[in-house]
Amino acid sequence: MSYSITLIPGDGIGPEVVEAARRVLEATGVNFSWDRAFAGDRAQDMFGTPLPDYLLNSIRKNQIALKGPITTPIGSGFRSVNVAIRKALDLYVCLRPCKLYPGAPTMYKDVDLVVVRENTEDLYAGIEYRYGTLEAARLNRFIEDCGDSVKPDSSFSIKAISASASEKIAKWAFEYAKANGREKVSAIHKANILKATDGLFLLTCWDVARHYPEITFEPHIVDSICSQLVRNPENHDLLVLPNLYGDIISELCAGIIGGLGLAPGANIGDEVAVFEPTHGSAPKYAGKNKINPMAMMLSGVLMLRHLGEKEAADLVEDAIAAVIAEGKSVTYDMKADRNDPTAVGTAEVAEAVIKKMKERVNA
Ligand code: NAD
């Protein structure tokens, strides 16, 4: 059997890390038929849009995509191509596991966190009105009519959180926890201040939690969880968050486990899933064969697990863990000194991981 996968190289360092991940996935022996499709700068040059219809149609058809990061265009019609893909395909879950592999450049031990971020609403819905526009003036008047006031020279970014989207993400988080042996789900909020939006998110999570008595439910205020995570990340398990907090906390968790080069991700809907790392296109490293491809490879591991290819997923993950533990064939970001001349390049990491995979298969 062969899996048809939409392969999106992306921008900046995207093509390098995607190629490294593709090589590693091919080395598992699982058969893939790659449907290469362009988004971002390359698509803009070829089709005059950073998000061509053929790309979305390819993902819809294959139902699975492996995607490199895409630069957010400045001055195009798209706020963010990444957000537009999630919206177009209703990828309402952003799953970002943050697992510490021994040997990673971090002071922590034994961290295994999962971030489940709501992916469709909150401040990311892109409902914004700039100061000086008719809409901003009307909104300002509406607020006055409601008996409140803001400064007349205000711009607005609307934070909307719905009961339905909160329920969907909370249910998904608890189901994931149940299926993956997670013992605790923490809902992250700022309901003490944002009583309407975060209050609704929190109440909805409480309601969903009642259906999962076997899983501990623990709400945390977003600022408090930041200091708790930095001090004792091992005390936490699965975090479910609205969109913006999810974005910020997943980078914090990536920092805890050793950096963005180790943080994979997946955007998941009921029909379709797009696997991509947490990191962006890091344009200053583009084409330099320097950046760490492990986050992209680990996104491939999530894809293999999603496909039910557990053995192949374990093989790749164990090989990556072995390369990290050995500490020889790793990129600059994995070294204590970032200028360490023994750091290897992106392609060499792929070779090292494939070598470890072969050793394991032949053992
Ligand atoms: P970034 O994640 O691209 O890079 C920030 C820094 O993190 C880099 O300079 C580098 O030092 C480090 N880094 C990132 N990935 C790394 C890796 N694999 N290995 C080692 N170090 C790594 O963030 P940015 O500079 O804020 O964003 C660049 C562009 O990417 C922007 O246009 C942004 O909008 C976009 N972006 C896209 C996605 C996505 O496609 N899902 C996600 C985030 C940012």
| CA 231 / ligand 1 centre spacing (Å) | 25
Burial class (CB in 10 A: 0-12, 13-18, 19+), 107: exposed
> Is 281 a pocket residue for ligand 1 (Cβ < 6 Å)?
yes
- Is residue 223 part of the annotated active site? The answer reads yes
> Is 267 a pocket residue for ligand 1 (Cβ < 6 Å)?
no
List, for residues 32-62, the tens digit of each pLDDT value: 999 999 999 889 989 999 999 999 999 999 9
* Nearest-angstrom CA–CA distance, 213 and 217: 9
> Is 333 a pocket residue for ligand 1 (Cβ < 6 Å)?
yes
Look at ligand 1, atom 37, and give the residue with the nearest C-alpha.
Answer: 280
pLDDT band at residue 72 using 50, 70 and 90 as cut-offs: confident
List, for residues 200-238, the tens digit of each pLDDT value: 999 999 999 999 999 999 999 999 999 999 999 999 999
Q: Which residue from 27, 102, 103 is spatially nearest to 356, judged by alpha carbons?
A: 27
Q: Which residue from 14, 37, 85 is spatially nearest to 273, judged by alpha carbons?
A: 85
List, for residues 103-147, the tens digit of each pLDDT value: 999 999 999 999 999 999 999 988 999 999 999 999 999 999 999
> Is 11 a pocket residue for ligand 1 (Cβ < 6 Å)?
no
**What is the model's pLDDT at position 75?**
63
Average pLDDT, the chain: 96
* Nearest-angstrom CA–CA distance, 29 and 300: 14
Q: Of these residues, 168, 190, 290, 356, which one is catalytic?
A: 190
Look at ligand 1, atom 21, and give the residue with the nearest C-alpha.
Answer: 261
In the predicted model, is pLDDT for residue 76 greater than 70? no
**What is the model's pLDDT at position 363?**
86
Helix (H, G, I), strand (E, B) or coil at 197: helix
- Is residue 270 part of the annotated active site? The answer reads no
| CA 192 / ligand 1 centre spacing (Å) | 32
List, for residues 303-361, the tens digit of each pLDDT value: 999 999 999 999 999 999 999 999 999 999 999 888 999 999 999 999 999 999 999 99
List, for residues 16-31, the tens digit of each pLDDT value: 999 999 999 999 999 9
Burial class (CB in 10 A: 0-12, 13-18, 19+), 318: middle
Q: How many residues does the chain have?
A: 363
> Is 119 a pocket residue for ligand 1 (Cβ < 6 Å)?
no
pLDDT band at residue 244 using 50, 70 and 90 as cut-offs: very high
**What is the model's pLDDT at position 263?**
98
Q: Which tokens hold the place of 77?
A: 């019609």
pLDDT band at residue 74 using 50, 70 and 90 as cut-offs: confident
* Nearest-angstrom CA–CA distance, 158 and 111: 35
Q: Of these residues, 223, 270, 284, 328, which one is catalytic?
A: 223
- Is residue 108 part of the annotated active site? The answer reads no
- Is residue 314 part of the annotated active site? The answer reads no
List, for residues 246-303, the tens digit of each pLDDT value: 999 999 999 999 999 999 999 999 999 999 999 999 999 999 999 999 999 999 999 9
Q: Which residues in 173-183 are b (16+ Cβ under 10 Å) and which e?
A: bbebbeeeebe
